[in-house]
Each structure stands twice: as structure tokens, then as C-alpha cells.
Amino acid sequence: MYIPKYIKAYESGVLEERIKLAYNILKRCTLCPRNCKVNRLKGERGMCDTLELPIISDYFAHFGEEAPLVGRYGSGTIFISCCSLLCMYCQNYEISHLGQGEVTSIERFSDMMISLQKRNCHNINIVTPTHVVPQLLKALKLAVEKGLHIPLVYNTGGYEKLDTLKLLDGIVDIYMPDFKYWDPEMARRYSNAYDYPDIARRAIKEMHRQVGELRINEEGIAEGGLLIRHLVLPNKVAGTREIVRFIAEEISPNTYVNIMAQYRPCGLADRDDLINRGITRKEYIEAVESALNAGLKRLDKSNIMLYKSLIGES
């Protein structure tokens, strides 16, 4: 039976040490690459618009995630409100930009984890956790004391500082980052983050160093490792060809990758003529072929099924 990393960290005292280090950062917050340097413990707001307590939108057994996370009973997903990246086309715009959700105590946060475990979810999947790493660690400690024992998934946009990721070393079981853009100018245009490509490359390398390739048990359920998501954007905005080549050559050709086809114009996307439409059949076919040609060997099964249907193969 798989024992999550955070249990060992709890038993050794590492988790308690990381909580103290993480909360100290909140006094002059540099958790994410925005480096706002505000005192969130004293009511100062930075880019993420979050103070000491997390804002949580919802939590439930999610059946729309990748198959190794969903299994039979779903991925135990907790949606953190607000964000430090704030992509203008965000598919969860009301949550990330508008802060839809409720300020939640650490005790309640931990209870959500236990509730999802009681529903037989296969993991605890924290969506957009970057700006609440201290609160997540503290809630995790309480949850362990209440009996939490399923893998922890860190579901992120990929805009992560190495110092923050190192606080999670030996605690997170599964990293699930996006890799959104290759071109700094596209990252600036759509997420006001010119440095995103460089930061995402370094962050994903660190994640891979910590957890390695995705490991799936005999029941088809992921227990640990790296799973990278890449959302195909219209008009080659994302730089898919370069991203998949980087993953194959500098991470591993055995990296589990999901080439996502579900882009639709959300948020403020209708204001930009490059992304004010969904992707075409041709754009998705080219994206998957780029991944295959780059040598990636573990594309999500849904990618291959969709690709074959689009090119007319049964």
C-alpha cells in the first residue's frame, strides 16, 4: 500500500518545520514570482488578493480530470479562489479573477480533505495552490492527525518559485503543472508574466527532480510523479511544438502529458483577435503530432483517441 510523502514528513517533524518557514514568508510575501512583498498576516493584499486565510470556491469528487487521477471514485478536488497568474482567458475566471468563494479556516480546510477521503476519492487535488502554500501545509498537518492517507496533488499553472517548491519537497506526491506558453511575449500579452516561460521550465525540472515520472498502480491509479498539462491555444499562441520538444528532451520522453483540446474563449478572451475562438481540428491534430514527433511516449489516452477520431482512424 502506498504511503504518501507527507505522512513521512509529518512523522519526522519536517512538515512542522516547513509550516513555520512558509508562514514566515507571508510577512513579506514572495511565495510566487510576483514578489509582492506585502504582509498578508497584517491585512496587506498582493496580486493574489488573499490574506492569511485561504478563500475556497468548492470541493467535490471530480470526474473530469485525467484517468489516473479519477479512477472509479473521482479525484478529491479543492478549488482555491484567486490566483497570482490571472490569465485573461481563464476557464475559471469567476474563481481566479473575481474571487468567488468563501474565506475558510484552516480547520475547515483540513475537514474538506477528510470528507473527500471518506467519499473514497483517490487523492486530494488542490487547484491553484501557489498563493496558499503555508495554509495548505498547516491544513495538511491537521488532516494527517485526523487520518488522511491518500496522495496529495499540487495542481498549478506552472508559475512557481523554486524556493516555494523546495518547501514542498518530500510532501507533495503528484505535481500537475500547466506549461502555458513558450514565447515570453505571449506570456506577457495574456498573463502579464513575461518571465513565465523561463520560470515554468525551471519549476517543472524541479518538480521532476522531486517526484520523477508518473507512477500508476495495478488498478490504474496514480500514486506519485509528474503529470504535465498543455492547453492548445488558437493561432499557435502557446508554442506547443517548442514546449513538447522541451519536455521530451529536457524532462523525459516518458513524461505523462495531456495535450488539452478544450480551450474556449472565457474571461476577457473576446477582446483579443488571436484567442477569441476555439481551436480548430487542424490545430489539435498538429499539436498531437508535434508531441509524437518530439518523442513523447505517454500522452493521455484521451489525446490519442481524439487525434485518431479527427484523422478518421477507428
The Cα-based distances of 92 to 35, 76, 102, 162 in angstroms read 24, 18, 16, 26
pLDDT at residue 313 in the model? 76
* pLDDT, tens digit, 9 for 90 and up, residues 170-196: 999 999 999 999 999 999 999 999 999
* pLDDT, tens digit, 9 for 90 and up, residues 75-97: 999 999 999 999 999 999 999 99
- Tell me the domain boundaries of the chain: 5-311
pLDDT at residue 292 in the model? 98
- Residue 208 to residue 214: CA distance in whole angstroms: 9
pLDDT at residue 250 in the model? 98
Q: Helix (H) and strand (E) counts for the chain? A: 12, 10
Average confidence (pLDDT) over 158-177: 98
Confidence class for position 314, pLDDT limits 50, 70, 90: low
Question: Is the distance from CB of 122 to CB of 116 less than 8 angstroms?
Answer: no
Q: What is the mean pLDDT of the chain?
A: 97
Q: Residue 302 is inside which H or E element, if any?
A: helix 301-311
Residue type, 165: L
pLDDT at residue 159 in the model? 98
Question: Is the distance from CB of 268 to CB of 237 less than 8 angstroms?
Answer: no
Of all residues in the chain, what percent carry a pLDDT higher than 90? 99
* pLDDT, tens digit, 9 for 90 and up, residues 219-270: 999 999 999 999 999 999 999 999 999 999 999 999 999 999 999 999 999 9
* pLDDT, tens digit, 9 for 90 and up, residues 96-132: 999 999 999 999 999 999 999 999 999 999 999 999 9
pTM (2 d.p.): 0.97
Residues with Cβ within 8 Å of 309's Cβ and at least 6 positions away in sequence, in order, are none
Residue 169 has pLDDT above 90, yes or no: yes
Class of the CATH-defined domain 5-311: alpha beta
Residue 74 has pLDDT above 70, yes or no: yes
pLDDT at residue 206 in the model? 98
pLDDT at residue 224 in the model? 98
pLDDT at residue 78 in the model? 98
Q: Residue written as cell 475566471?
A: 93
The Cα-based distances of 297 to 218, 253, 290 in angstroms read 19, 6, 12
Residue 212 has pLDDT above 90, yes or no: yes
Average confidence (pLDDT) over 159-167: 98
pLDDT at residue 172 in the model? 98
Strand partners, 55: 103
C-alpha 109, offset from chain centre:
18
In the structure grid, which three cell numbers stand for residue 57, read together?
470556491
